[in-house]
Amino acid sequence: MDLIKKLLKKLIPNFIFSLYHWKMAYLGAILYGFPSRKLTVIGVTGTKGKTTTCNLLAQILQGAGFKTGMATTVNFRIGDKEWINEYKQTMLGRFKLQKLLRQMVVEGCQYAVIETSSEGILQYRHKGINYSVAVFTNLSPEHIERHGSFEKYREAKMKLFEAVARKKDGIGVYNLDDNNAEYFLKIPVASQIGYYNNTPHPNPLLNRGEGENPPQPSFVKGGSVPLFEKGRLGGIYQISNIKLSPNKTEFDFNNKPFDMAQGKHFEMPLIGEFNVYNAAAAICVGLLQGIGMGEIKEILKHVKPTPGRLEVVNAGQPFTVIVDYAHEPASLEAVYKALKIFNPRKIIALLGAQGGGRDKAKRPILGKIAGEYADTVIVTNEDPYDEDPQEIIDDVAAGISSLCHSRESGNPESWIPAQGRNDKKEKPAVFKIIDRREAIKKALSLAQVGDIVIITGKGGEVWMCVENGKKIPWNERQIAEQELGKPD
């Protein structure tokens, strides 16, 4: 199937595909009566954190009494009903998405929170959707082979903000710590709100680098905000005093430098500094929708974690097992850094990479990152599509070998660290196991008291995509529980 698609793309001019996608988008909207016009639609875009931000925001809105619908990579929601996304798509195709929006309207939703991907934008799935709010989480290289360059990838994301800018009361929310925020801020959205992290470095768990404090964003210089002076950036919120622990995360959040709202101390049952950024985006949108800071604080205390996002698997074992969707370099490194709060004896990392020609260049980078943080690395199958799984595994493993030199040629068990490898003194054990279930079994069998087994790449996905368009049912958490001996 992938080969047929590639052949068609070579034979048919790009503008024909664009015209097709554009017309289909509007046809879907017409067919279902432009349902988004009866909703306040919030689009969340970026590289990392989209799904969690959507889930946090939907829970804030719902908890504040606004019936809310949601569509993400992992799950769908209408009010209190939630179900798994089984389509293997971050952003649904035009007809499915419009049908879901129509269902939200019929069931009385006031808000729709939509994870809006660059691929979806490239195929005009966002057309015919009346977005009122756009959220930018962050940006790092991903899907470059699909877009042609990082700049074009960024431009695709920016189209969401261009759509919101056409509304006289449109709202943009921005992560000011990301270097790409300035590009998004140049789009003249009516109201623009930013957030940044001002937590000092003394907490070593933040791991920003020796003696390095988080830099103030370029938009905040001694309390002067040029874009604010032009009437564009309507407020800046500051994250501070982040405290990380294995069970919860705490942080302060206030309006800086204008102090238009009283700052609050927040805590939530999610782990990792990156989840503070996700929460900050959700809080900003909630505040802009008229929800009080105190009410949001109480809702965040009891939020449900997103399936497959730093999800802890507990079957009574004397070590920690975590399942996460991380499948690109920035998110993978963020996940490994987050594990430090557990103070693990050793880290056993299981990972793979997607096939089907997807981001081949990142495969060795993923392996290198795993090798830098883990004591044992198991490289396995993920979603090979029509590619040879062994070749994908070898591509990932090549990144690990770039960190090491071998005592015995061809024997990965004898690899030892190269100079400067994250100051680790012990050699990493490396295993290549095609069968993902067997790889999980191996990872769990190696774990001892105080270790962490981190399984990345699939998260909450329910399918593994293999050759000839076939999809195999998959549940990473359930498989881990079964291999740990937990009864179904």
Same domain (yes/no): 466, 348: yes
Q: What is the dihedral of CA 137, 138, 143, 149, to 10 degrees?
A: 130
Same domain (yes/no): 345, 419: yes
Would the pLDDT of 335 be above 50? yes
Same domain (yes/no): 345, 252: no
Same domain (yes/no): 290, 322: no
Residue that finishes a domain, picked among 241, 275, 300: 300
Q: What percent of the chain has pLDDT over 90?
A: 67
Would the pLDDT of 406 be above 50? no
Asked if residue 380 is part of any domain, the answer here is yes
Asked if residue 3 is part of any domain, the answer here is no
pLDDT of residue 76: 96
**Residue-wise pLDDT tens digits, 43-59:** 999 999 999 999 999 99
Residue 486 banded pLDDT, cuts 50, 70, 90 = confident
Helices (H), 224-272: 226-229
Which has the closest alpha carbon to 41: 123, 128, 121?
Answer: 128
Same domain (yes/no): 329, 263: no
CB-based contact 172:191 (threshold 8 Å): yes
CATH code, 414:
3.90.190.20
Domain extent for 221: 11-300
Q: What percent of the chain has pLDDT over 70?
A: 81
Asked if residue 286 is part of any domain, the answer here is yes
Q: Cα angle at 415 between 412 and 416, to 5 degrees? A: 165
CATH code, 59:
3.40.1190.10
Residue 148 banded pLDDT, cuts 50, 70, 90 = confident
Residue 187 banded pLDDT, cuts 50, 70, 90 = very high
pLDDT of residue 255: 82
pLDDT of residue 10: 61
pLDDT of residue 262: 57
Same domain (yes/no): 285, 342: no
**Residue-wise pLDDT tens digits, 197-240:** 987 643 333 334 434 444 444 444 333 344 443 445 678 999 99
Residue 359 banded pLDDT, cuts 50, 70, 90 = confident
Same domain (yes/no): 67, 17: yes
Same domain (yes/no): 322, 471: yes
Which pairs from 286-291 meet CB under 8 Å and 24+ separation?
Answer: 286/57, 286/60, 286/61, 286/64, 287/261, 288/133, 288/171, 288/173, 288/191, 288/193, 289/40, 289/61, 289/64, 289/66, 289/111, 291/60, 291/61, 291/64
pLDDT of residue 231: 44
Q: What's the total number of domains in the chain?
A: 2
Same domain (yes/no): 235, 384: no
Angle at which helices 273-288 and 50-63 cross, to 10° = 40
CB-based contact 324:337 (threshold 8 Å): no
Residue 28 banded pLDDT, cuts 50, 70, 90 = confident
Instruction: Please give the C-alpha separations between residue 150 and each of 139, 144, 180, 368, 387, in angstroms, as whole numbers.
Output: 10, 6, 11, 21, 24
Same domain (yes/no): 378, 465: yes
Asked if residue 28 is part of any domain, the answer here is yes
pLDDT of residue 270: 96
Asked if residue 356 is part of any domain, the answer here is yes
pLDDT of residue 209: 42
Q: Which residue has the higher pLDDT, 103 or 203?
A: 103
Sheet holding 347-351, edge to edge: 311-313, 320-324, 452-456, 347-351, 376-380, 429-433
Tokens (6 digits) for 437:
């279930």
Residue that finishes a domain, picked among 300, 325, 344: 300
Asked if residue 5 is part of any domain, the answer here is no
pLDDT of residue 416: 38
Tally helices (H) and strands (E) across the chain: 16, 21
Average pLDDT, stretch 104-127? 92
Same domain (yes/no): 270, 315: no
pLDDT of residue 251: 96
**Residue-wise pLDDT tens digits, 251-310:** 999 985 545 445 689 999 999 999 999 999 999 999 999 999 999 999 999 999 999 999
Asked if residue 217 is part of any domain, the answer here is yes
Q: Which residue has the higher pLDDT, 128 or 258?
A: 128
Residue type, 87: Y
Asked if residue 180 is part of any domain, the answer here is yes
Same domain (yes/no): 452, 361: yes
Residue that finishes a domain, picked among 300, 320, 344: 300
pLDDT of residue 178: 93
